Amino acid sequence: MIPLEKDLEKFDLACTYLRNDQHISAYNMFISLAQKEMKNETFKAGLYLLLASECKARQGKDNKEELDMAANYYLKVAKKDNLGSSYAYQCAARCFLKSGKVDKAMKVSEEAKKHIPVIVEEKRPIVIVDDSPAITLRLKSYLEQLGYDDIKAASDGNSAIKLVTKLINDSQNPVILLDMQMPNTTGDEVAKKLLEKKPDLSIILITADEKSNPRVRKTIGFGSTAFIQKPFTMNELKNALDTTEQNRIR
């Protein structure tokens, strides 16, 4: 039997002892498991120490020593494991709290907040498809204020199809801001052709028409993810982009 299976068997047996009120046997096994995992510096060591403390508590004994051991062990892990440090600090804080050391718990809890990883949201490329230079300029200005920097533009449907097709072929996943009224190829035709190439493509319709307009409804039916009616505000654009991200297939 491999070591991992032996440890699992030992853990199951210790839990059985605990359930059957054989607290001393359970305690000794949990401590033995904890000592092994502390050498390996895994989070399981803290769990085993907490279970050992529970064995003592059920006997009516003081279990602060085991709780402090678990807390100090989690602090040790927190200082070595950058990715898991916030979680380790939180575990240590809970252990100190259970042992009645409120001040220490609060201090460690504050330390945990300093180690929460910052998630940097990646902004996708944006393609503005509109034949109006004024609308394109306004959209670009709004997008830049919202933190987008990879912004491209096409002034007619045919150019848009070529541009977006190239991005798709380059394994990019752009968001398309698509005007319904354009020369050469209209917005609904552009949407249909692009969605044939990439069914999960994110398309936000921009039009002066009502959402109930048959052509707009038909285009939404093709698979567009959001709708903005002219004239629009930056907040309305942001809401449409947020909706698109929420509906995105990842």
Task: Give per-residue pLDDT as tens, 128-172.
Answer: 999 899 999 999 999 999 989 899 999 888 899 999 999 989 888
* C-beta atoms surrounding 235 within 10 Å: 10
The pLDDT, as a whole number, for residue 218 is 66
Whether the full predicted model's pTM is greater than 0.75, yes or no, is no
pLDDT at 192: 85
CATH number of the domain bearing residue 177 = 3.40.50.2300
For residues 88 and 168, state if they share a domain. no
Q: Is the pLDDT of residue 175 over 70?
A: yes
What pLDDT does 92 receive? Answer: 92
> For residue 181, is pLDDT > 70?
yes
Tokens found for residue 30:
């949990």
For 145, the domain range is: 126-246
Which residues neighbour 205 within 8 Å (Cβ) at sequence distance 6 or greater? 178, 180, 187, 191, 216, 219, 220, 224, 226, 227, 228
User: Is 57 a domain residue?
Assistant: yes
63, 79, 114: which is the final residue of a domain?
114
Same domain, 100 and 169: no
10: domain CATH number is 1.25.40.10
Q: Is the peptide bond before 231 cis (omega within 30 degrees of 0)?
A: yes
Show contacts of 134-140: CB within 8 Å, 24+ apart: 135/179, 135/206, 135/230, 139/177, 139/206, 139/237
Contact (Cβ atoms closer than 8 angstroms) between residue 236 and residue 228? yes
Pairing between β-strand 175-179 and β-strand 226-229 as defined by DSSP bridges: unpaired
The alpha-carbon radius of gyration of the chain (Å, integer) is: 29
pLDDT for position 242: 85
Picking from 79, 114, 149, the residue at the C-terminal end of a domain is 114
Looking at the structure, do residues 88 and 180 belong to the same domain, yes or no? no
Per-residue pLDDT at 2 exceeds 50: no
Please check whether residues 136 and 65 belong to one and the same domain: no
Q: Quick check: is 120 in a domain?
A: no
Convert the pLDDT of each residue in 182-213 to its tens digit: 777 788 888 888 888 888 888 998 887 665 66
Total domains, the chain: 2
